[in-house]
Amino acid sequence: AQSVAQPEDQVNVAEGNPLTVKCTYSVSGNPYLFWYVQYPNRGLQFLLKYITGDNLVKGSYGFEAEFNKSQTSFHLKKPSALVSDSALYFCAVRDRNSGNTPLVFGKGTRLSVIA
Amino acid sequence: DVKVTQSSRYLVKRTGEKVFLECVQDMDHENMFWYRQDPGLGLRLIYFSYDVKMKEKGDIPEGYSVSREKKERFSLILESASTNQTSMYLCATSSPPGGPVEQYFGPGTRLTVT
């Protein structure tokens, strides 16, 4: 079975400070990993994904994520937070060996960037 | 760019009504999905479809059905709406089947059942 955990319901950070939104996953094989962002009353927007290769993945809006196989983690990071980054963030996973199956999503982490 | 549209942004229905939520995509994607989103519960998969006229149950199919008569359209049906189906409903698509492909989401329909 595949699963994703986002251990923090809420993350607060001051504008200009670095931010981290945590994600851990569980799959039987190797994962494909994804991050999405949701602004109020909107659908989810794709930020970035890890397929293979370099453990540091760069995505939209200055976000990046680091894949750590030994810790089964895929934390989302940004060096300097903006107030406009305030949103709901979702991590998702698919096992490479699972064929054409839907992504499995975490419960989401609400990021609040304070001016 | 992939465009996924949903028929309504906001919808208010009465208990017992039959409700249709429509999703249309313009990129010829094989896969289509319906999720509901509730605070503290994240996204939960209701149904998905890999091709026309086929469907698969997700994690929470009870009280819902789906229809996919054309490749670009995937409908979610609440046969008899209940208050516990008040939620945000999100449609998504992806292609090609399998592999490291992301899902593209529509704007969502916020359904209130009174």
- pLDDT, tens digit (0-9, with 9 covering 90-100), for B50-102: 989 889 999 999 999 999 999 999 999 999 999 999 999 999 999 877 677 88
pLDDT of residue B96: 77
For residue B2, pLDDT beyond 80: no
Q: Do A102 and B43 touch (CB under 8 A)?
A: no
- Please, how many CA atoms are within 13 Å of residue B94, restricted to the half-sphere of its CB? 17
A97 pLDDT band, cuts 50/70/90, is confident
Task: Kindly report the nearest CA distance between residue B67 and chain A, in angstroms.
Answer: 18
Query: How far apart are alpha carbons B78 and B71 in whole angstroms?
Result: 21
Task: Identify the pLDDT of residue B16.
Answer: 97
Closest residue on chain A to B4 (Cα)? A43
**What span, in angstroms and rounded, lies between the C-alpha atoms of B110 and A100?**
28
**What is the mean pLDDT of the segment spanning A62-71?**
96
Smallest CA-to-CA distance from B9 within A42, A67, A8, A62 is with: A42
Beta bridge partners, A110, equal: A10, A88
Determine the Cα angle at A20 with ends A14 and A23, to 5°. 145
pLDDT of residue B102: 87
Confidence at residue A55, expressed as pLDDT on a 0 to 100 scale: 93
Q: How far apart are CA A8 and CA A20, in angstroms?
A: 11
Test A105 with B43 for CB contact under 8 angstroms: yes
Mean pLDDT of chain A: 94
B33 touches chain A (CB under 8 A): yes
In which band, very low, low, confident or very high, does the pLDDT at A70 lie, cut at 50, 70 and 90?
very high
Whether the predicted pLDDT of A99 surpasses 80? no
CA distance A35 to B10: 26
Cβ–Cβ below 8 Å for B42 and A107: yes
Q: Kindly report, residue by residue over A24-34, the tens digit of the pLDDT.
A: 999 998 999 99
Residues in B closer than 8 angstroms to A49, CB to CB, are 100, 102
Q: Can you tell me whether residue B64 is helix, strand or coil?
A: strand
pLDDT confidence of residue B91: 96
User: Is A66 within 8 Å of A49 (Cβ atoms)?
Assistant: no
Residue with tokens 């319901």: A9
A9–B40 C-beta distance less than 8 A: yes
pLDDT tens string B27-50: 899 999 999 999 989 999 999 999
pLDDT of residue A1: 83
Tell me, what's the pLDDT at A40? Answer: 86
Residue A23 amino acid letter: C
pLDDT above 80: residue B111: yes
Residues of A with CB under 8 A from a CB of B: 9, 32, 34, 36, 41-46, 49, 51, 90, 94, 96, 99-100, 102-103, 105-108
The closest CB to that of A43, out of B40, B98, B107, belongs to B107
Say what the pLDDT of residue A41 is.
80
Which residue is associated with the tokens 């229905």?
B13
C-alpha count within 13 angstroms, C-beta hemisphere, residue A113: 19
